[in-house]
Amino acid sequence: MSMLNFALNLERSIDVTKQTENHSVIKTIDVNLNELGRLDEAIATYKTEIDVAITKGRQLEYVKLLEKLGSAYNTKGNTNLALKTYLKIIKKAELFSVNEKELISVYNQIASLYNQLNEPVDALIYANKGFKLIEKYPESKLMAADLYLIGAESYYIINNYNKAREYKQKYISLKDSVFSEQKVLAIADLEIKYKTEEKQKQILIERAELAEQQLLITKKNYKVYGFAGLVFTLCFLGYLFYTQKNEKNSNSTLITIETQNKLQEQRLAFSRDLYDNIGVHLTFIISSIDNLKNALKIKDEKITSRFNTISDFTSSTIYELRDTIWAMNKREITFEDLEIRIANFIETANHVTQDINFQFKVDDNVDKSTSFTAVEGVNIYRVTQEAIHNTLKYAKASTINVEIYEVNNHIRISIKDNGKGFDDEIISLGNGIRNMKKRAHDLGGNLGVETMINNGTSVTLFL
C-alpha cells in the first residue's frame, strides 16, 4: 500500500474532533489530498485548520495555512479567491511577527495572479516590494529570478518591450549563474535531438545508418541512466532529511558524513556500471565498422568517409564519457587534479604526434590550493583540450607551449604554437572556438585569441 493511500485510510478512521487536536495528522492528510488532486477536500481541511489556529491564537500557523489555501485556490483556477487570500496574508503579516523573508514568495504569487487578471501595473507594484525585500536579505537572491520573469510578463502586457527584455535577460542571467551546468548535464542534454540523413538505396549505406542509430540509442540510454541516478539521489536525500527532523537525539554530523560516503560509493558504482555498459556498446560499434570496411573492401570514397565519420564520432563519445565520469566521481576538482589531467592529455598527444615538441609549465606563483566545482573543472579542461586539438589539426606547428600562470590573483591558461596562423578578419571562427568562448563565459571569464599568418596562434583562457 502506498504512503498516499495509507494517509487517506487514516483520514477515514480518525474522528474529525480528534483531527483538530492532532495537527500533524491533519497536515499529512491535506498534503496528500492536494497531491491526489482532491482540491475541494484539501480546501475544506485548510479552512478547518484555520479556524482552529484562530481559536487557539496560533498566529504564525494561521498565516502559513492562508498561504496553503491561496495555493489550492490558484491550482483549482479560482484566481480571484487566491488573490484575496494572499492579500490577507500581507495584512496579517503587519499585525503578527512574520519573518519578512517568507513574504517574498507571497509577493511573487500576488504579482503572478495580477498578471493572470490582466492587471500588470498592480503586479509590478508587488513585484517591486519583493525586490526590496531581496535587497534587504541578499541570501534570498535566488527568488529574484521568478520576480524578474513575472515582471517581464507585466511589461509585455503594457507594451514596454525594452523593460520586458531587460527583465527577461536578468531572469536568464540569474538562472544561468546558479543552474548553468546542472541544466547542461541534467536537462539540456535530455532535449538534444539527432537528425539522420535520408536512407540510401545501397545496402552498405543502410548498414552505416543502422550503426549510427545504435550509437544514438546508446547515448540516450546514458542520459536516462544519469537522470535516474539524479532522481534516486534526490529521493535518498529527502528521506534522510525527514528522518533527521524526527529523530531528536540523533547525531546530525555523523549522519551527514555517512550519507556523503554512501552517495560517493553510489556515484562510483554508478559511474563504473555506466562506463562498462555504454563503453562496451561504443567499442562494439567501432569494431563492427572496421570489420565492415575490411570485409567489404569498399572503394567508394563517400561510403568510406561516412564510416570514418561514425567511427571518429564514436571514439570522441568514449573520451567525453570518460571525462564526464571523471568529474562525476569527485565532489570538487582540485588544481592538482586539473594539472594532472591536462598533463596526461598532453603526454598522450605527444606520443601520437612525435614530430611536435610539447612544453607544459605551471608557474610557482599559482595558488595550487585552488579548487573548482566538477562543472568548472570540466569546462577548464575542455577549453584546454579543444585549443590543443585545433592546433594539432590545423596549425602545422612544430612547437606547442601550454602555460598556467597567475595575474592579480586570477589564473590564466595559455596555449601558444609556432604554426601557420590565420587571418581572423577573413576566416570566421568555427564551432570549436565558439564553444570554447561559451565555456569561458560560463566560468565567469573570457577567451582571447591572437593570431598572425605565418607567426603562430595564441589562445588564452582568463579566469
232-249 pLDDT, tens digit per residue, is 888 888 888 887 777 665
Average pLDDT taken over every residue of the chain: 79
Which is more confident, 400 or 275?
A: 400
Q: Answer whether 128's CB lies under 8 Å from 148's CB.
A: no
Report the alpha-carbon distance of residue 88 to residue 166 in Å, rounded.
31
Task: Using alpha carbons, select from 13, 42, 15, 43 the residue that is nearest to residue 29.
Answer: 42
122-138 pLDDT, tens digit per residue, is 999 999 998 998 888 88
Superfamily of segment(s) 332-463 = Histidine kinase-like ATPase, C-terminal domain (3.30.565.10)
CATH number for the domain whose boundaries are 3-178 = 1.25.40.10
Q: Answer whether 34's CB lies under 8 Å from 72's CB.
A: yes
* 3-state SS record for 157-186: HCCCHHHHHHHHHHHHHHHHHHHHHHHHHH
Residue 160, pLDDT score: 92
Stretch 408-422: mean pLDDT, rounded? Answer: 91
Residue 3, pLDDT score: 46
Report the alpha-carbon distance of residue 214 to residue 379 in Å, rounded.
28
Q: Answer whether 402's CB lies under 8 Å from 414's CB.
A: yes
Q: Answer whether 424's CB lies under 8 Å from 453's CB.
A: no
375-to-57, 325, 367, 386, 440 alpha-carbon distances in Å: 49, 12, 20, 16, 12
Stretch 48-70: mean pLDDT, rounded? Answer: 86
**% of residues, the chain, pLDDT over 70:** 75
Residue 33, pLDDT score: 64
Residue 293 has pLDDT above 50, yes or no: yes
Place of cell 544514438: 216
Confidence of residue 348 (pLDDT cuts 50, 70, 90): confident
- Looking at the DSSP bridge assignments, the partners of residue 414 are 403, 460
Stretch 159-187: mean pLDDT, rounded? Answer: 77
Residue 15, number of CB atoms within 10 A of its CB:
8
Best-predicted range by mean pLDDT among 68-82, 95-109, 184-198, 424-438?
Answer: 68-82
Which is more confident, 420 or 142?
A: 420
Domain boundaries along the sequence of the chain: 3-178, 187-194+201-329, 332-463
